[in-house]
Amino acid sequence: MRLSALIRLWLWLTLLAVAAFAVLAVLDGRLKAATGFGTLDLQGAQSALDYKRVFAAWIARQHAATAGFSLGFDYLFMPLYAVSFYFSAMLAREAFTPKRGLARRTLDYLGFVPLAGALADAIENGLEFSMLSGAPDDATARFAYMASNVKTTCFYVGLALLLGGIAGAIKLRRKKKDESPAR
């Protein structure tokens, strides 16, 4: 893939991920304002009782529908942020580690961390939905909590990669402008 195509694709994926995140934030804010609990509150739930408390607040049909839609819409957000962060690692790699070596290989491997985070996010949402539609139990709650922690850690790595990708894209664009012939 050409570098200009990578930058363009990365930019579009990042913008789409930000837009999806904004939709999730608005939905979660409205749900939390109406019930006292948002879908983000599920990430801190560690027991069946914690989940039952949240689900009881969402007993009204419109709140349950909003929560279910948010959990489902998150599945659209997952590949967007995962691939955006992966491409961020590729841009940082191309901009800051032009020669083969440990640093370049490290950025290659770090690019896969957000993909693992998206997988953990999918597992977390699946477990949360199973508890929402069935009966929560402590073992499932603990497993969802662990998946949430893995996802959050991987997401922070992805945000660091995004910063590196932004800096890398700026550096690569400047380099390209400096190399183009003057008219």
Tally of domains in the chain: 1
Q: What is this structure's pTM?
A: 0.90
- In the predicted model, what is the mean pLDDT of residues 93-118? 95
CA distance 76 to 118: 11
Asked if 83 and 15 count as a contact pair (C-beta separation under 8 A), the reply is no
Instruction: Please report, for residues 31, 38, 82, 93, 177, the alpha-carbon distance to residue 147 in angstroms, rounded to integers and kept in the order given.
Output: 23, 18, 16, 28, 44
157 lies in a domain? yes
Give domain status of residue 180, yes or no. Answer: no
Mean pLDDT throughout 151-163?
Answer: 98
Range of the domain at 124: 3-175
Q: Specify if 182 maps to a domain.
A: no
Mean pLDDT of the chain: 93
In this structure, is residue 141 part of a structural domain? yes
Residue 79 lies in a domain: yes
pLDDT at 3 over 90: no
**Which residues lie closer than 8 Å to 148 by C-beta, 6 or more apart?**
42, 43, 44, 120, 124
Assess if residue 124 is contained within a domain. yes
User: What is the band of 38 on the pLDDT scale with cuts at 50, 70, 90?
Assistant: very high
pLDDT digits (tens, 9 = 90+) for 40-56: 999 999 999 999 999 99
Is residue 168 domain-resident? yes
- If we measure between CA atoms, which residue out of 81, 79, 78 comes closest to residue 162? 81
Triad 167, 171, 173: Cα angle to 5°: 115
Residue 181 lies in a domain: no
For the chain, how many residues are written?
Answer: 183
